[in-house]
Homo-oligomer: A and B are copies of this chain.
Amino acid sequence: MPEEGLLSQFKRLVVGSPIPSSHAHHERLSRTTGLAVLSSDALSSVAYATEEVLRVLVLAGLSALSFSLPIALVIATILAIVVFSYRQTIHAYPGGGGAYTVARDNLGENYSLIAAAALLIDYVLTVSVSIAAGVAALTSAIPALHTHTVVIAVAFVAILMLGNLRGIKESGQIFSVPTYFFIVSVVALVGYGFWNVVTGHAVPLPAPVHGLGAVQPLTIFLLLTAFSNGCTAMTGVEAVSNGVPAFRPPEAKHAAQTMLMMAVLSITMFLGITWLARSYGVVPVDSETVISQLARAVFGGRGLPYYLVQGATMLILVLAANTAYADFPRLASILARDGFLPRQFMNQGDRLAFSNGILGLSAFASLLLMVFGGDTHALIPLYMIGVFVSFTFSQAGMVLRWRSLGGPRWMAHAAVNAIGALVTGIVLLVVAATKAHEGAWIIIVLIPVHVLFFKLTQRHYTDVAAQLTLRGTVPGTVSHVNRVIVPVSGVHRAVVRAVEYARSLSPDVRALYVNIDAAATEQMKREWTIWGQGVPLVILESPYRSIMDPLLQYVSELDAQAPHDYVTIVLPEFVPARWWHHLFHNQRALLIKGAFLFRPNAIVTSVPFHLNR
């Protein structure tokens, strides 16, 4: 017989051993490891941002591709503004200033819940988009895998899910490898490409054989659409400001410096890739990513440098997806603590803590990957709304915060965040206007649905608390009488054991037997005189041959006699030796328990009888 429960064994197998409280926060981040741990989401988005711009522009013909660089410059400027705005958040919220926290403190509950909804949805999309882009990096390098895109993407999600359920050690060293590998690869790619262009050694890619004529006119709307696509380069920027307490002291200063470093790298890589893509005449196609085409062009084919770039891109994208596995359960836990999500998300105690969040995140991300065929481009419209809702609310909240705090330079601080809020607000409107028909409407619908659920949850807990409060009641030590009944269908060891237990509960024990067949009832009466342990046997009549109805009626009568007292129903319950043996036993205990669940003073207890084969 196992010493620990099945559930516990299973958990240990899948999730590993629990971690003592004292181990928490055992490792603080330096700036270099902080960059690796917190910036993978932001940096990795340069792997697909350029492509997303080009894919829209190419609709207006090859010549329209030259608009990519001006668009990228606008995006880089906005990114810089956002980063400066967020640096203020870092200093204002050294405990971690996510959009939900900032909005709750400064804008009030409703705005904070909109931000929370946007963030939860975005964490799901971070997983979907990053994995889709990572798989695209893989299938660009190995085109034979292209037809298996969805399967590979879902497999990646499954690996992340299992890894996070077991508890990945958030070791800076481990995270540093893919991040710096990616930075070095992209910088090398851009640098070598730049050198080639400058020295005149650049060999542009051949123009596509099928003439790519314009299918749409080059309108302002098209340019805005390309711009809003390119804004994916900004996703993940807020991660550093959420993670301030993880840095070594002085935390805020280190975090702010890390964010600056991230911004410089992000802008450099994004502009570099966009400029090179133009110089090398890269035209976006479905079967190969822009980065892959670029690496092929710059390094002169699929050699080792090419595969290193593709590998690094895939790795950092998977790592970026992984960040959502830390963010989603953490936000869900905060929301649960505040009463806006079911308490199961707040479960503390061991690693199982966040498993509900991890499972939910994986399920929704896989669903999106399957519905959208693992296509990054199809997922991007859904991604942007949430990102810019949280940007805008977070910075608008900061503006109000500066005003209420006052202080000598409050207007200067407020101005920085106000510019940030204004710019991201405008981007939000552009995204909504250009992307709503491409799927972003789903998110516009989902955000209020989430907020409604948060509110319903909160109301339920308020209701429950009101029903549970002891305020207004008087402590007392009244005693209640407990009458115990044991429904029996025959005489065997499990019944004898149940009666023994019933006798330990109360002096008032009676066995109940339902008379279906007169001969069997006589037999039962005879056997009870031997095995009944002095407990009286009550015979119930059942004209309809039902077992349950006479039992329920008898308990109702007992209850009516003394409504203040308890009636305890003791049932023998078989515990089979093997789980599939459950097939062979009636779930009568469960049925009886269900039937009595709504009687206020009836308590059902089952006495386990262990079968060992």
- Could you tell me the distance between the alpha carbons of A566 and B20 in the complex, rounded to whole angstroms? 32
Near B by CB (< 8 A), chain A positions 526-574 give: 530-531, 533-534, 543-549, 552, 566, 568, 574
* Cβ B500 vs Cβ A581 within 8 A: no
Looking at A18, A344, A544, A611, the one whose CB has the most chain B CB atoms below 10 A away is: A544
* Cβ A545 vs Cβ B350 within 8 A: yes
Report if A470-B482 is in contact (Cβ < 8 Å); known contacts: A566-B501, A600-B610. Answer: no
- Could you tell me the distance between the alpha carbons of A505 and B470 in the complex, rounded to whole angstroms? 23
A67 at the interface (CB under 8 A from B): no
Shortest Cβ distance from residue A472 to the other chain B in the assembled complex, whole angstroms: 11
Indicate which residue in B492, B604, B606 contacts A469 across the interface (CB closer than 8 Å).
B492
- Could you tell me the distance between the alpha carbons of A505 and B549 in the complex, rounded to whole angstroms? 27
A177 at the interface (CB under 8 A from B): no
Indicate which residue in B470, B505, B591 contacts A493 across the interface (CB closer than 8 Å).
B470
Report if A597-B591 is in contact (Cβ < 8 Å); known contacts: A477-B534, A504-B479. Answer: no
- Could you tell me the distance between the alpha carbons of A506 and B568 in the complex, rounded to whole angstroms? 13
* Cβ A470 vs Cβ B543 within 8 A: no
Binds B, one of A4-12, A139-147, A154-162, A427-435: A4-12
* Cβ B597 vs Cβ A5 within 8 A: yes
Near B by CB (< 8 A), chain A positions 577-595 give: 581, 583-586, 591, 594-595
Report if A584-B5 is in contact (Cβ < 8 Å); known contacts: A349-B546, A492-B469, A500-B478. Answer: no
Shortest Cβ distance from residue A4 to the other chain B in the assembled complex, whole angstroms: 7
Interface mask (A494-517 → B, CB under 8 Å = 1, otherwise 0): 101000110111100000000010
Taking CB atoms, residues of chain B closer than 8 Å to A611 are: 463-464, 467
A523 at the interface (CB under 8 A from B): no
Taking CB atoms, residues of chain B closer than 8 Å to A610 are: 598, 600
* Cβ B348 vs Cβ A516 within 8 A: yes
* Cβ B6 vs Cβ A594 within 8 A: yes
A475 at the interface (CB under 8 A from B): yes
A596 at the interface (CB under 8 A from B): yes
Taking CB atoms, residues of chain B closer than 8 Å to A552 are: 4-5
Taking CB atoms, residues of chain B closer than 8 Å to A605 are: 568, 603-605
* Cβ B501 vs Cβ A457 within 8 A: no
- Could you tell me the distance between the alpha carbons of A501 and B564 in the complex, rounded to whole angstroms? 12
Report if A480-B504 is in contact (Cβ < 8 Å); known contacts: A475-B530, A552-B4, A595-B8. Answer: yes
Could you show 29 A-B contacts with beta carbons less than 8 Å apart? A1-B600, A18-B546, A20-B545, A347-B586, A348-B516, A348-B545, A349-B516, A349-B544, A349-B546, A350-B544, A350-B546, A464-B584, A476-B533, A477-B503, A477-B534, A479-B503, A479-B504, A480-B500, A480-B503, A481-B504, A482-B501, A482-B505, A575-B597, A575-B598, A598-B610, A600-B610, A603-B607, A603-B608, A604-B605
Instruction: Give A contacts to B, CB under 8 Å.
Output: 1-2, 4-8, 18-22, 342-344, 347-350, 457, 460-461, 463-464, 467-470, 473, 475-482, 491-494, 496, 500-501, 503-506, 516, 530-531, 533-534, 543-549, 552, 566, 568, 574-575, 581, 583-586, 591, 594-598, 600, 603-608, 610-613
Given contacts A6-B594, A350-B546, A477-B533, list 10 more A-B pairs with CB under 8 A: A5-B596, A7-B594, A460-B581, A467-B611, A470-B492, A477-B503, A479-B504, A501-B566, A597-B608, A600-B610
